[in-house]
């Protein structure tokens, strides 16, 4: 077997390898292995096209290779941001750059229970309370985020400014667009809502226990016993 024949066989094997890598990349269900296999297919295709003088294929794969590399880096960076959102603290810093500032006078009702939710707020300063449960919000607390994602989109509580209060706000459409552009913020909001719901459950349980202690042993026994399951549908 001559060197020319061996080179021809190797070139054909490279071409078949490019086909296999391309087919495998189409089979992948996740972005990272898809992009890696696509880059491998580009490299094999470049080698095959160069050995056979196929200029259109050579140009095509020389363009696709850096594009696939760019998309691979983009996906890896996105995954790192999502992991950061999953492990980091629930800080206003995630949304603050995209929110607008507003100042409410003392006695202003920011929103009432039962109203349609169209904005999410973040307390910056001032005394802000939820009158239905007598809870005072702290600077950095988000309000209104649960109603934005509920099926009926209705406020479950009212929010009142006891003193002049400075807040940040963002509309529903702006938040939806932001979540689409930056999935890591969607993950952050998921953690925020889950944390808020857990706090609400704990607050309700503590109130029930306190009420049972105030009402006496019989009420305490009723509180301690599990309630029968209710059909929520």
Q: How confident is the model at residue 232 (pLDDT cuts 50, 70, 90)?
A: very low
Q: 143, exposed or middle or buried, with CB in 10 Å at 0-12, 13-18, 19+?
A: buried
The predicted pLDDT at position 144 comes to 81
Q: What is the mean pLDDT of residues 88-95?
A: 59
The answer, yes or no, to whether residue 219 has pLDDT greater than 50, is no
Q: How confident is the model at residue 87 (pLDDT cuts 50, 70, 90)?
A: low
Which pTM was predicted? 0.50
The angle formed by the CA atoms of residues 174, 191 and 228, to the nearest 5 degrees, is 115
Q: What is the mean pLDDT of residues 116-143?
A: 87
Q: What is the mean pLDDT of residues 118-134?
A: 89
Which of 184, 201, 155 is closest to 82 using CA atoms? 184
pLDDT, the chain, mean:
80
* Percent of residues, the chain, with pLDDT higher than 90: 31
Q: What is the mean pLDDT of residues 172-183?
A: 78
Question: Domain map of the chain by residue range?
Answer: 3-87, 92-213
Cα of first residue to Cα of last residue in the chain, in angstroms, is 77
The predicted pLDDT at position 210 comes to 72
CATH number of 92-213: 2.60.120.10
């Amino acid at each position: 077997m001559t060197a020319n024949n061996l080179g021809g066989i190797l070139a054909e094997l490279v071409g078949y390898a490019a086909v296999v890598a391309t087919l495998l990349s189409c089979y992948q269900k996740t972005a990272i292995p898809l992009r890696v296999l696509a880059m491998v297919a580009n490299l094999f295709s470049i080698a095959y096209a160069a050995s056979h003088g196929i200029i259109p294929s050579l140009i095509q794969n020389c363009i696709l290779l850096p594009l696939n590399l760019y998309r691979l880096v983009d996906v890896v960076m996105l995954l790192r941001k999502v992991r950061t959102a999953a492990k980091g603290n629930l800080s206003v810093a995630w949304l603050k750059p995209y929110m607008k500032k507003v100042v409410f006078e003392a006695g202003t009702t920011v929103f009432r229970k039962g109203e349609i939710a169209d904005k999410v707020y973040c307390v910056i300063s001032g005394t802000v309370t939820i009158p239905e449960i007598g809870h005072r919000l702290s600077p950095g607390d988000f309000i209104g985020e649960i109603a934005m994602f509920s099926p009926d989109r209705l406020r479950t509580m009212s929010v009142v400014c006891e003193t002049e209060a400075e807040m940040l706000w963002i509309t529903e459409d702006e938040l939806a667009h932001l979540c689409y552009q930056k999935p890591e913020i969607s993950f952050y909001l998921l953690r925020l809502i889950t944390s808020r719901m857990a706090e609400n459950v704990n607050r309700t349980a503590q109130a029930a226990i306190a009420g049972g202690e105030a009402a006496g042993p019989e009420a305490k026994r009723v509180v301690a016993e599990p309630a029968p399951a209710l059909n929520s549908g």
